[in-house]
Amino acid sequence: MAIKSMADQQNDGAPEPLKGAGDTGEAHQKERFTRRLTQDAGPRSMRPMRIATFNINGVKARLPRLQEWLADDPADLVCLQEIKSVDDNFPRAAFEDAGWHVATHGQKGFNGVAMLSRRPLDDVMTGLPGDDTDTQARYMEATLGGVRVASIYLPNGNPVGTEKFDYKLAWMRRLTARAKELLATERPVVLSGDFNVIPAPEDAHDPAAWADDALYQPESRAAFRALVHLGFTDAIRLVQPHGPAYTFWDYQRGAWQQDHGIRIDHHLLSPQAADRFVDARVDRAPRGQEKASDHTPVIVTLADG
DNA sequence: ATGGTGGTATCACCA
C-alpha cells in the first residue's frame, strides 16, 4: 500500500472516512482510529497493530503513571527500556491483572528491557547476539501478529573517549549485524527503543550543547545511518519529515518546561513493515506528569497484514 | 545542578 498519497498530503483538514495517515491533527487522528476500531468488526488479527516504545527510567518508580497510561489503551505492544529491575522483581502481576502478557529481560540496578502485549508473544529472544561476554540487559525480540519486534536500549556511551564509548559503537555494530539477519527473513520487522543517538541537528533543540556528547558524535550518528541504510525507515519521519519531534527532556535546568529536548527514541521499520505504515506519533502527555520518566512514548501503527 | 537504584555512606553509579 502507498505510505501516504498525494491526495492525503494536500487534504487541508476535512476528515474523510477511513483515510490513511493524511491529517495530522490530534482530534482527527483519534476520530479516525476510533472509527476504525468500531467499524472494522473483523477478527482481532485484522486490526491495525500499534507498537509503543517507552524508556520508563525505573519500572517501580513509574508504576502508577505507567498503569494509568496503559489503561487508556495506547498500544497493542509496549516496548519498555530501563526497567532497572531483575526479572523476579518486575511487577508482572500489576500488568497481567490488567490483561497484558509480560516478557522481561532485566538485570540488577540498571538497564533492562521488557515487552507488554495484549496478545501472547511468540519466540521471545533475550540478549543481543554477537558477544557472549556481554551481560548487560539491553535487547530482546518477540513476534506478534507476524511482526518481529525488538525492544532496544542502546548504550549511552558517555563519556566519549572511554571504554563506554567503545562499547556503544561495538554494540551498534552487533545490532547492525542482527538487523541484517532480520531483514534477510523478508518479514515485517520493527526495531523499537531508546537508541541513544540524536540522528540529525534538527533532532536537538540546541545541537551545539551536545557536541561533546556520545549521543551526537559523528561516529554514533554514522553508525545509526549505517543501520538505517540497510533498508529501514525512521517511522516518525514518514509523518513529520522535518523539525523537532523530541522524545527526551533532561530533568535538569527546566528542559521540559522550555522544550529543550532531543529525539533519541525511534521505530525503525523494515520494508515489509513500512509497507504497512499507517501512523506514528510522539505522545508527549506522560512527560508532563508528576514523577515522570525523562523520556516519553513514541507509537507507530501498522495496518493489518 | 535532577532522578532511580542499590548498598549501607555521610554515597556511588548510571543516565
Q: Whole-number Å distance, CA A295 to C1' B4?
A: 14
Per-residue pLDDT tens digits for A126-141: 999 999 999 999 999 9
> Is A20 within a domain?
no
- pTM across the whole model: 0.86
- Write out the E strands in chain A: 49-55, 77-81, 101-105, 113-117, 122-126, 139-144, 147-153, 189-194, 233-234, 248-249, 261-262, 265-269, 277-282, 298-302
Using the predicted structure, report yes or no on whether residue A258 has a pLDDT greater than 80.
Answer: yes
> Is A92 within a domain?
yes
Q: Which of A32-46, A128-142, A203-217, A245-259 has the lowest mean pLDDT?
A: A32-46
With beta carbons less than 8 A apart as the criterion, state whether A207 and A201 touch: yes
Q: Is the CB of A126 under 7 A from strand B?
A: no
Residue nearest to nucleotide B4 (CA to C1'): A58
Q: Whole-number Å distance, CA A174 to C1' B3?
A: 30
> Is A29 within a domain?
no
Closest nucleotide relative to residue A194's CA, C1' based: B15
Per-residue pLDDT tens digits for A150-202: 999 999 999 999 999 999 999 999 999 999 999 999 999 999 999 999 999 99
Binding-site sequence positions of A for Mg(2+): 55, 82, 194, 196, 294-295
Q: Is the CB of A217 under 7 A from strand B?
A: no
Per-residue pLDDT tens digits for A28-57: 444 444 434 434 444 555 689 999 999 999
Q: Is the CB of A58 under 7 A from strand B?
A: yes
Residue nearest to nucleotide B15 (CA to C1'): A156
- Which DSSP letter does residue A214 get? G
pLDDT of res. A43:
52
Q: Which residue has the cell 539491553?
A: A138
With beta carbons less than 8 A apart as the criterion, state whether A291 and A282 touch: no
pLDDT of res. A46:
64
Closest nucleotide relative to residue A215's CA, C1' based: B15
Per-residue pLDDT tens digits for A85-131: 999 999 999 999 999 999 999 999 999 999 999 999 999 999 999 99
Where in the sequence numbering do the catalytic residues of A fall? 153, 194, 295
Under the banding of pLDDT at 50, 70 and 90, the label for residue A305 is confident
- Structural domain boundaries, residue A248: 49-302
> Is A8 within a domain?
no
Give how many domains chain A has, as a whole number.
1
The larger pLDDT score, comparing residue A232 to residue A37, is at: A232
pLDDT of res. A41:
43
Closest nucleotide relative to residue A59's CA, C1' based: B4
Instruction: Please name which of A300, A238, A278 lies closest in space to residue A52, comparing C-alpha atoms.
Output: A300
> Is A159 within a domain?
yes
> Is A24 within a domain?
no
> Is A242 within a domain?
yes
Q: What is the CATH number of the domain that holds A203?
A: 3.60.10.10
> Is A215 within a domain?
yes
